[in-house]
Structure 1
Amino acid sequence: MECGSKENGCFHAKRQQRKDGLVLVRPEDCHAIFQNDEVLAHSFIPIENPDDLLRITHEPPQPYICLRLQHLLVMHDEQKRFERTYHIRSRGKAYKKSKHNRKCHRPKPTIQVFNNYKEVLVDDSTYHFGQVQADIVKQLHDASKSNDPWVHGKTLLNNSGSQAMRFQDVFKNKKGWRDIIESDGRGHYRLKLKAKQFYKPPADDTVERQQATN
């Protein structure tokens, strides 16, 4: 992680540090996860020092971290404080250790990529792709981090340098590719990720706008 501050829209790194184990989460960040089920994060404000900003190391570029409801843990002390404040008693046991147990099960991220997207891990399934296929998956992954995750097939083929006439021809030798890539039936494609902010349907002029920017 890089610790620093943001001034005039630019991040100024002060130092690098390794983050391991549990990280305290601000109430407003918890609310964002509660509302959306999961949130993609690249930087966050540490509760122990709100004047700083922690960012995933920029060089080499790192993927966003997918934070889900099951990643949140209630500390034992916080549970007891809450019960005293509201005069309630829970049956379940909260997380007691201040340091995370490495052997404790952690839900896997939605997607992990290796070897420049030639190997992609989605949940518990692994997919291997050729160069053009990997480039297309990378484009879709980049788009999934924006407010418009849908990309037209022609844009994907053109940007990857493919000579194929149809999008599905690029993946015809890869069984199961539709498990991670879905189509809207109008020529647009996106990765099958679960974050609610990805569910926005593509605009009718998507391909024209994308081609205009290429």
Structure 2
Amino acid sequence: MIGDLLLRRDERDRFEVETGFSPGGQPMEEATFIHSADYLEVRCDGCRFKLGPIQAEVVRALHEAAQAGAPWQNGKAILSRAGSKSLRMADVFKSQKDWRHLIRSDRRGGYRLNLD
């Protein structure tokens, strides 16, 4: 006998997008960037990230900058404001294997969220 299955809404939505089981039979376009209220959980381009407190502050600052129309930010300034002792974004996000799917670099010290 098959019992009940409990699914979280975000998992149901993800399944419907992946299988094309959305209204009208066409795959729904998934939002590129989704975050929890505290930014400790983020989904970007299909990748899910569970962030630490400093990582979450960096992502929050980059997201707010993007919403304000100035997406490129100085990495050292962002890290300092987030309370990091490190001056390198790669050091702060080294526990996140796919962090470059979340944050882009201009290779001159500027960083932005990957919202495209």
Give the distance between the partners of 1:115 and 1:149, measured in 2 at CA.
Answer: 20
CA displacement 1:99-157 (0-9 Å, x = unmatched): xxxx5153221211015111001232211100000000011111111222001011111
Instruction: List runs of 5+ in structure 1 lacking aligned partners.
Output: 1-102, 195-214
Higher normalized contact order (CA 8 Å, seq sep 6+, divided by chain length): 2
Q: In the alignment, is residue 174 of structure 1 matched against residue 93 of structure 2?
A: no
Match of 2:104, SS? strand
Instruction: List runs of 5+ in structure 2 lacking aligned partners.
Output: 1-21
Residues 1-214 of structure 1: pairs in structure 2 closer than 5 A: 103-104=22-23, 105-194=27-116
Shift of residue 165, structure 1, vs aligned partner: 2.9
Contact 2:34/2:44 (8 A) holds in 1 = yes
Give the distance between the partners of 2:70 and 2:33, measured in 1 at CA.
Answer: 18
In the alignment of these two chains, the number of paired residues is 93
Match of 1:126, SS? strand
Which has the larger Rg? Answer: 1
TM-score, normalised with respect to structure 1: 0.41
Deviates most, 166-175 or 103-112: 103-112
Match of 1:108, SS? coil
- Give the helix-richer structure, 1 or 2: 2
> Partner amino acid for 1:109?
A
- Give the strand-richer structure, 1 or 2: 1
Aligned identity (percent) is: 39
Contact 2:44/2:101 (8 A) holds in 1 = no
Give the distance between the partners of 2:105 and 2:39, measured in 1 at CA.
Answer: 20
Give the distance between the partners of 2:87 and 2:102, measured in 1 at CA.
Answer: 21
Give the distance between the partners of 2:46 and 2:99, measured in 1 at CA.
Answer: 14
> Partner amino acid for 1:131?
P
Give the aligned CA root-mean-square deviation in angstroms: 1.7
> Partner amino acid for 2:81?
N
